[in-house]
Structure 1
C-alpha cells in the first residue's frame, strides 16, 4: 500500500496536465515500512527523454517519443538520492503520466522498472488528469496493482 495526501496528488496531477501532451515524470520521497509506503514529498522532474536516450532503447519514433516515454536524468536522480538521505527520507517511487492512454503500465514501463519502487501512473485525457493507479513489480517482474490510500 502507498499512502499520500490530497496535496501530493494535486502536485502529480498539476505536473501531468502542465506537460500534456508529453509524459511527465517525477520522484516520490517518503518512508517505507513493512507493509506501507508513506509519501512525504513529491518532486516533479523534467522529462529528459531525447534522441540519445531513444537510441539507447532503439526507439525509432523519436519525434513523438516524449508522448510515449519518459526518463529522469541520471544526474538529477543522483542529486535526489543525496538530498533525500539528508532529509532522512528514501526514494519510494516514481510517477509519470500517460497522455490519452489508461493509467496502466506499458511493457516499456515494466522493462525499466525497479523492484520495491511504487510506480504511480496518471491518465491524462485531452489535457485533464483523471484515473490514477499505483503499481509494483512482483517477484516475477510483473506489475501488480498497489492499493492507494489518499488521506485528508
Structure 2
C-alpha cells in the first residue's frame, strides 16, 4: 500500500472548496424547489465543503491536499482474489468514503509499480488558469521547466 500526496496552495484549495460548497448548496435548493427531499449524499458533501472553507479561512495557515492511494491485492487462487477485491471495494465505498477506484489489473507492470517507493506514473494535478498566468508573470514559464 502506498499513498501519494500533493500540496495544493491555500488560494487554489479555498477556491475549489467554495466552488464545491456553491454547487452543493445549489443542488439542495434545486431539490427543495422541485419538492424533493434532501438526500444524504448532497447534505454530507455540503457539510464537508463547508468544513473545508472554514479550515482554509484567512489566517489559518492551512493548505489543501490531493491524494491517491495504491493497494496491491494478492491471493492464492482466482476465487480468493475475487473475494478479496470485492471486500476491498465494499470497505472503500462504505467505511472509508472513497468515491472512485480504478483497477489496474489488466496492466500489471504499471499496477505493481505504483506501490513501490518510486511511485511510477504519478502525474501532478493541473494548475488553474490564474495560477498559470501568475507563474508566467513571475518568470516561471516553460523555459524554466525541467
Instruction: Calculate the TM-score normalised by the size of structure 2.
Output: 0.26
More helix by share: 2
**Is the radius of gyration larger for structure 1 or structure 2?**
2
More strand by share: 1
